[in-house]
Each structure stands twice: as structure tokens, then as C-alpha cells.
Amino acid sequence: MAFLRSISTVNTSPIIRGERVMLRAPVLGDYPQWAKLREDSRAFLAPWEPIWPADDLTKMSFRRRIKRYQREIRNGTGYPFFIFSPDGDTLLGGLTLAQVQRGVTQSAVLGYWMGAPYAGKGLMTAAVRAVITFAFDSLHLNRVEAACLPNNTASIRLLEKVGFAREGYARRYLCIDGRWQDHLLFGLVRDDPRR
């Protein structure tokens, strides 16, 4: 993995290159590609995500999202990335290190989504591997957590493939697709073997 620009503090979101993917912070200019990919993938994503607000795909909503992302990066509480093809031209999906905690915890929560045309091709695996290296080696976190629905076999396989351990079961953990749903809990710590 290579960083295309140096990072002087942990409050900077770098451009990250992984195997077959490039990750960078979302910007306003990404709106057309993002809105099209999300709309085209709506049926594919709906079972795994909260219900979208009525204005979710509008430019105004995207602008608010970008402002929130910028604030999280500036405060060091979140690191959102869009996942692109290696040349940076095609948006494939998104990934976030959220709820970054410092002090005695040094942890973050991983969330991700992939556009329907790009799912099942190993691209999210490459993106997660790249962001895990960033989380441990650049942000100096000790732990990254993730959760997924028990019937999301693709997500379970992904997390286990990159080295996450199944750690628990949380009842009615998140409101997904309009219902409070149970989730499997996964964790990866700094000195776990990285696959």
C-alpha cells in the first residue's frame, strides 16, 4: 500500500492504494457517480442498510454528508473513504472507519458498502485490507470492530478472510431495513495476524 501524499497528522485522510483499488475521502465532485451507483444499487443494498431518507440521493443531502465527513476527519473521529478503481475513475463503493476512540480504547468501527455491479469480485476485501493497514500503522489504533447481519454470508466471509474474529452476538443491535435486527460482532486487534 502506498500513500500518494504524506500525512503529517492523524487528522488527515490520505489517498490509499490497495490491491486493485484506490481509496480517498469523498468530495463534492463525486456526487454524480455516487448518486447513480447508489440508485442503481438500491435494491441490492436495501436489506443491509438503514432506510434511506427521502432526500438521500439529492445534491443538497450529499453536500451535508461531505461537510459531516470533513468535520469527522478534522476532529479525528471518522475516516470516510470512497473506493475507486486503481485509476481513480470509477466509483465502486464506500468504507468508513467511524466512532474513532482515543485514550485507553484506541478503536474504530468499520462499515462498508459496495455497488451491485462490483460485488463478489474481491474488491471490498482489497479495500478492507488497505484500510486496516491505515488504521493500525497510521492511526495507531489497537482495535477495529465490525458488525453484520447473521444472514449476510458475504460480509461474514469478508471479515473472516481479512482476519476478524467473531466475538459476539448483539440482539436488536441496529435498525436495518426498517427493523431492529440482531448482528454478529467481529473484532481485529493490532497484533492479530493480518491475512
Structural domains of the chain, with CATH: 2-189 (3.40.630.30)
pTM, full prediction:
0.91
The full length of the chain comes to 195
Residue corresponding to grid cell 465490525? 146
d(CA 21, CA 95): 12
pLDDT in tens, the chain (195 residues): 443 333 333 446 789 999 999 999 999 999 999 999 999 999 999 999 999 999 999 999 999 999 999 999 999 999 999 999 999 999 999 999 999 999 999 999 999 999 999 999 999 999 999 999 999 999 999 999 999 999 999 999 999 999 999 999 999 999 999 999 999 999 999 999 877
Report yes or no: 16 and 131 within 8 Å, Cβ to Cβ.
yes
Helix axis angle, 123-133 relative to 153-161, nearest 10°?
40
Residue corresponding to grid cell 461537510? 67
